[in-house]
């Protein structure tokens, strides 16, 4: 188990490629001996962060401190790290023994010492009888074991693992996960692991760092991250969730899906819009509808091996996903309740779009790199303004040429009765949209906003 002593401190790390900021002010403390995982969707910057740690890349700003010394400028071979990559990167012309012994031979380690250490690490990765084998004759899992043996033979203080199991089939991946966990325990060194697979992160890690768009969203134990996601992105990314718009009525009382529920959260204020997350396994179904908090009609029921997964249309028109050990008939009406402690209330990151802009005439405003018509608001050309637009007042168009600006659908959150989309414009700005239409990630869209939906206020 990891202790509380810090081995690495990442301070204000920032990295851009061209004008794209890939890591934005990353701060993180890694404890000696812990198994820490950077988890996030493709492109969130997790591999870049690992490469900065390894020394393969230099940061634009910030620093990496290891055991009190700034190592930001040290070349990779001077850092006490070793890296295991997704592709095994073994030397094809060398057998297993020589692949593992390679680094020690380079350092002119005595051959009896090499022999002892190679045998020890091959045993550790369960490859004892494979010393003379040609690496090309090994399965993917075996090659990865050799790569790990090669990475741990010179006893690094930190092992960096970049999606090391991604190329393996499911069964092999599960077996290797268990072996990696065992290996981490036996070696007692710090493992820094990168994956986009949330189940893998939950299974392996002492600490998970959830990343999105170059920023750390949440750092915590698997249980913390699963049970207390800090925002709707984390809730959506880790496990299945019902994510809904709600209103915090007052302390310990929240309304969503058209009903008011008792909850355990306090300090949000009164009548404040919030996001509410309820895990599918935390909604209890009862057949006597009269004792239920709310009711619904079962729309689908699929056996998932251990539980049934159901989609239920609730009495006030929301769709909820529910997991239960019992099967409920499609078409039947059921009652449901949720325990107060299973209702997770989160502060909304924003309640409408706010764009910085400038008036180009009394009835037109420039923001998001384009000119939009707006209503006369008593302001004149050149005035700097904030333009606010509600999420459901942004029109998305199939034909991108029909839009005032164009963008790409980047993230989709289902909120029980509508979708909340993040659309990234060609200039890299974000527009948030509530819609009932079904869009796919990466769809290219046109974006229009009617003049009456743009609320202008002067920026001070």
**Residues forming the site for ligand ATP (CB under 6 A):** 17, 22, 40, 42-48, 196
Residue 16 C-beta: closest distance to ligand ATP, Å: 9
214 Rama sector, left if φ>0, alpha if ψ -120 to 50, beta otherwise: left
User: Closest CB to ligand ATP among 209 and 244?
Assistant: 209
* Residue 33 or 45 with smaller CB distance to ligand ATP: 45
User: Min. distance of Cβ 195 from ligand ATP in angstroms?
Assistant: 8
Complex with ligand ATP: residue 15 or 145, whichever CB lies closer: 15
Q: C-beta of 166: minimal distance to ligand ATP in Å?
A: 9
**Residue, CB closest to ligand ATP:** 47
Instruction: In angstroms, give the least distance from the CB of 388 to ligand ATP.
Output: 30
The residue among 22 and 138 lying less far from ligand ATP, judged by its C-beta, is 22
In whole angstroms, how close is the CB of 40 to ligand ATP at the nearest point?
6
CA distances (Å), origin 140, targets 88, 135, 441: 8, 10, 31
Which residue lies nearer to ligand ATP by CB, 45 or 220? 45
Q: Closest CB to ligand ATP among 46 and 117?
A: 46
Q: Least separation, in Å, of the C-beta of 182 and ligand ATP?
A: 26
Please identify, using beta-carbon distances, which residue of 45 and 357 lies nearer to ligand ATP: 45
Residue 13's nearest CA partner among 62, 67, 50 is 62
Q: How far is the CB of 60 from ligand ATP (least distance, A)?
A: 13
């Amino acid at each position: 188990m990891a202790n509380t002593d810090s081995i690495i401190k990442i301070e204000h790390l920032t990295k851009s490629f061209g004008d794209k900021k890939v890591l934005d002010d990353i701060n993180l403390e890694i404890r000696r001996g812990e198994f820490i995982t950077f988890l996030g969707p493709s492109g969130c910057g997790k591999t870049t962060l690992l490469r900065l740690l390894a020394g393969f890349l230099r940061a634009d700003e910030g620093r990496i401190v290891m055991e009190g010394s700034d190592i930001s400028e040290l070349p990779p071979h001077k850092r006490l790290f070793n890296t295991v990559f997704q592709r095994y990167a073994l030397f094809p012309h060398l057998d297993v023994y020589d692949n593992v012994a390679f680094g020690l031979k380079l350092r002119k380690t005595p051959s009896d010492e090499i022999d002892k250490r190679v045998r020890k690490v091959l045993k550790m990765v369960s490859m004892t009888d494979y010393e003379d084998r040609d690496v090309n004759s090994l399965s993917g899992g075996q090659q990865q074991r050799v790569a790990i043996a090669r990475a741990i033979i010179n006893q690094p203080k930190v092992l960096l693992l970049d999606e090391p199991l991604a190329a393996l089939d499911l069964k092999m991946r599960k077996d290797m996960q268990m072996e990696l966990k065992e290996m981490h325990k036996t070696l007692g060194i710090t493992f820094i692991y990168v994956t986009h697979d949330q189940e893998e992160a939950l299974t392996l890690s002492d600490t998970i760092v959830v990343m999105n768009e170059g920023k750390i969203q949440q750092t915590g134990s698997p249980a913390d991250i699963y049970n207390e996601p800090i925002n709707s992105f984390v809730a959506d990314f880790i496990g299945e969730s019902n994510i809904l718009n709600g209103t915090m009525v007052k302390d310990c009382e929240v309304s969503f899906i058209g009903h008011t529920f008792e909850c355990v959260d306090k300090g949000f204020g009164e009548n404040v819009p919030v996001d509410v997350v309820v895990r599918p396994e935390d909604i209890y179904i009862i057949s006597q509808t009269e004792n239920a908090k709310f009711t619904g009609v079962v729309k689908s029921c699929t056996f998932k091996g251990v539980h049934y997964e159901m989609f239920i249309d609730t009495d006030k028109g929301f769709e909820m996903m529910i997991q239960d050990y019992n099967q409920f008939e499609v078409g039947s009406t059921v009652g449901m309740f949720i325990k107060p402690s299973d209702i997770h209330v989160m502060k909304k990151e924003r309640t409408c779009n706010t764009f910085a802009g400038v008036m180009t005439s009394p009835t037109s405003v420039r923001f998001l790199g384009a000119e939009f018509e707006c209503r006369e608001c008593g302001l004149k050309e050149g005035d700097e303004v904030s333009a606010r637009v509600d999420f459901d007042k942004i029109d998305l168009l199939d034909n991108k040429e029909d839009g005032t600006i164009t963008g790409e659908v980047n993230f989709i959150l289902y909120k029980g009765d509508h979708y909340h989309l993040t659309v990234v414009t060609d200039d890299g700005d974000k527009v948030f949209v509530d819609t009932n239409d079904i869009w796919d990630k990466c769809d290219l869209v046109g974006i229009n906003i009617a003049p009456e939906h743009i609320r202008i206020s002067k920026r001070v």
